[in-house]
Amino acid sequence: MSVIETRNLRKHYRRIEALKGVSLRVERGEIYGLLGQNGAGKSTLVKILLSIVRRTSGEATMLGEPVGTTRARQRVGYLPEDHQFPGYHSAESLLHFYGRLYGMSRHDRNRRIPEMLELVGLRGRASTKIRTYSKGMKQRLGLAQAMFHDPELIILDEPTDGVDPVGRREIRTIMQRLKEQGKTIFLNSHLLSEVELICDRVGILQRGEMIREGDIATLTRQKGLFIVGLAEGETLPTDELVRTGLSVSRSGIFWEVALSDGQTIDVVVDWIRSRGLRLRHLVEKRQSLEDLFVATVDAAEPGIDLPRSARQPRVMVGGAGQ
């Protein structure tokens, strides 16, 4: 059973169609990233799951319950985007406050607070006022709040927005630890390079439509494109290889080899060895999620507001592998 499932989910805010039939699934124990530019509909989708806004049509279930029931919501932790905790609270008093809302006893709260603050690296700042915290510390406290009642599913809306690189790294580490504890994490983000490092699967939402979905390794693979390196001082005779139907080009100290349909990289390996050359480096080339995102968004909507440089198609060796 999926932890989150939506089928043909639609949402209209009067004239604005925020979601135009979105279907997705999130499985237990995975980190799922819903990506897209501002206004794509990410927060709307999350708010429907949490019954903060009502769907126009379609279906959505969370932890096996239809959305809108309180049963499932009790087992979910949520970090809203742009949340503001009152500055007069400390980390400790804030978690006591939320713990009371969750109906936890003083004893449970006293046990849980140091544990959570340890996890998010705020133990030393437990009794300082939130108004003195950096953005990264506030986001980490937000994570502690979302996890406080030990939910099975944690929904994070833009958890790394406005946080500096060190803070983002810390947030990623926390998410990784939660995953190791078997939690399912659903996060919204418009910061692609961040997400790439942590998500098992992503969906790309654009103007209310899911335009790509899959695991990151599959989405970023450039089919049939390899980087080859030889022992120092050796050169790959590209002309000869090209005659066998491959596309080859030099790229710094390496060569990029593009296979044509039906070829496997074994042909190249065998060929290199038969010439007495020594293979020292062989990897399948990947594009970054950011490249994929730009390419996908561009394909879906030519001429969208991106700098010209970002709009150029990625140059692929010999045009193969696309």
Distance between CA atoms of residues 157 and 192, nearest Å:
14
C-alpha radius of gyration, the chain, whole number:
24
Q: Is 90 in the site for Mg ion (CB under 5 A)?
A: no
Count of C-beta atoms within a 10 Å radius of residue 14: 5
Distance between CA atoms of residues 42 and 38, nearest Å:
8
User: CB under 5 to 8 A by kind: which of Mg ion, ligand ADP, none does 55 bind?
Assistant: none
| Closest approach of ligand ADP to the CB of residue 13, in Å | 3
User: CB under 5 to 8 A by kind: which of ligand ADP, Mg ion, none does 108 bind?
Assistant: none
Q: Segment near Mg ion (CB under 5 A), from 60-68, 76-84, 210-218, 239-247?
A: 76-84
CA 5 to chain centre: 17
| Closest approach of Mg ion to the CB of residue 103, in Å | 29
Mask 237-256, x = binds ligand ADP (CB under 6 A)?
A: --------------------
Nearer to Mg ion (CB atom), residue 43 or residue 139: 43
| Closest approach of Mg ion to the CB of residue 83, in Å | 12
Interface of this chain with ligand ADP, residues 8 to 47, rule: CB under 6 A: 13, 16, 18, 36, 38-44
| Closest approach of ligand ADP to the CB of residue 73, in Å | 19
- DSSP readout, 3-31? SEEEEEEEEEETTEEEEEEEEEEE-TT-E
- DSSP readout, 80-144? -TT----TT-BHHHHHHHHHHHTT--HHHHHHHHHHHHHHTT-GGGTTSBGGG--HHHHHHHHHH
| Closest approach of ligand ADP to the CB of residue 204, in Å | 11
Beta pairing partners, 255: 228, 250
Nearer to ligand ADP (CB atom), residue 32 or residue 98: 32
- DSSP readout, 203-247? EEEETTEEEEEEEHHHHHEEEEEEEEEESTT----HHHHHHTT-E
Nearer to ligand ADP (CB atom), residue 13 or residue 88: 13
Q: In what side-by-side order are the strands of the sheet with 221-230?
A: 247-251, 254-258, 221-230, 279-286
User: CB under 5 to 8 A by kind: which of Mg ion, ligand ADP, none does 206 bind?
Assistant: none
Nearer to ligand ADP (CB atom), residue 38 or residue 70: 38
Q: Is 206 in the site for Mg ion (CB under 5 A)?
A: no
Q: Is 96 in the site for ligand ADP (CB under 6 A)?
A: no
Burial (Cβ within 10 Å: 0-12, 13-18, ≥19) of residue 300? middle
Count of C-beta atoms within a 10 Å radius of residue 290: 15
Q: Is 43 in the site for Mg ion (CB under 5 A)?
A: yes
User: CB under 5 to 8 A by kind: which of ligand ADP, Mg ion, none does 39 bind?
Assistant: ligand ADP
Q: Is 55 in the site for ligand ADP (CB under 6 A)?
A: no
Contacts with Mg ion, residue ranges (CB under 5 A): 42-43, 81
